[in-house]
Amino acid sequence: MHVRALPVAVAACAALVAVAARADLLKDSPVNFPDKGALPGKFPPDVKTKSYPVEKDYSLFESPCRSPAQIATIQAQMPKGRFTPPRNDWTGLQRTRRILTEGGELHVLGLGDSIVNDTMRSGWIALLREAYPKAKIRGTVYVRGGGGCQHYREEGRVQKYLLPLKPDLVFIGGISQKDVASIREVIRQLRAGLPDAEFLLASGPFGSADPRDPDALARIKDPAGLTESLKRLAAEERCAFLDMRTPWIEYILSATVHPHLFYRDRVHANESGEQILAKILMAFFRPEEPANAAAVR
């Protein structure tokens, strides 16, 4: 992320903290979530995707799930916010960058939990196609509720489900990664069969904590030190790293609306929340540096 004296959301943060319901998003929530399940979506994905057979509790399907037209409609209607764009660092993604800019086939695999599911369902792959028309880009998603590399490393799942997909770029994220050792093991298992595969490691963007509460904010910025551990792992394993948590918090705070307006239940994003994730990823993969590092809206 670009270093600045003040983040883009400081003013909004100060105003919201003064009136926030501390540490409990439900206390002043304008949204009534069902006791079970989630609120129905306003924009069901408009792109039919193929799903593949996989073991119980896991899902394997194609992405993108949304068309550029539907994405534009959602983004036009969602609450407006902004964030400082993450640093456009291609370290560890040289092959990906070459394919995007010069042409070729790029297969992106999203790996993680339901948060990664939300991220890939946002349709950001469709936006990536528009940004890099020379490349032929497709996406696949392999997720499990509450799932992380601690699950994928076991029982030959990499060999059975992931290696046959032959991904070029593996996006590993979510809020359910338990330890960096498991992430490292999955990276190494994949590289053993796909030595040219590249990896983008991302911090989990959100959960149920209230970003308007300074104490809760301090806790969710780097839960259990995992973000810093991911950064170190990325450097050690020659992977790229993306902090998705900070832009998410900045967008939510600068939007000056209750955070639950971006949620479909107490933990997961609705269509508007998904588009924040898409905006963060597209800011990271932007073809050129924005002039004067302007905040992304």
Cα 295 to Cα 297: distance, rounded to the nearest angstrom: 6
The closest of 296, 208, 222 to 29, measured between CA atoms, is 208
What torsion do the CA atoms of 263, 268, 271, 276 make, to the nearest 10 degrees?
90
* Span of 29-38, 52-61, 204-213, 252-261 with lowest mean pLDDT: 204-213
Helices (H) then strands (E): counts for the chain: 12, 6
Dihedrals φ, ψ of 124, to 5°?
-60, -25
Q: Is the pLDDT of residue 235 over 60?
A: yes
Peptide linkage before 64 cis (omega within 30 of 0)? yes
pLDDT in tens, 167-190: 999 999 999 999 999 999 999 999
Q: Is the pLDDT of residue 214 over 80?
A: no
Instruction: Report which secondary-structure segment, H or E, holds 152.
Output: helix 149-152
Collapsing DSSP to helix, strand or coil, 68 comes out as helix
Per-residue pLDDT at 112:
96
- How does the average pLDDT of the chain come out, rounded? 88
Cα 14 to Cα 20: distance, rounded to the nearest angstrom: 10
**53-293 carries CATH number 3.40.50.1110:** yes
Amino acid in the structure at residue 197? A
Asked if residue 224 lies in contact with residue 215, where contact means CB atoms within 8 angstroms, the answer is no
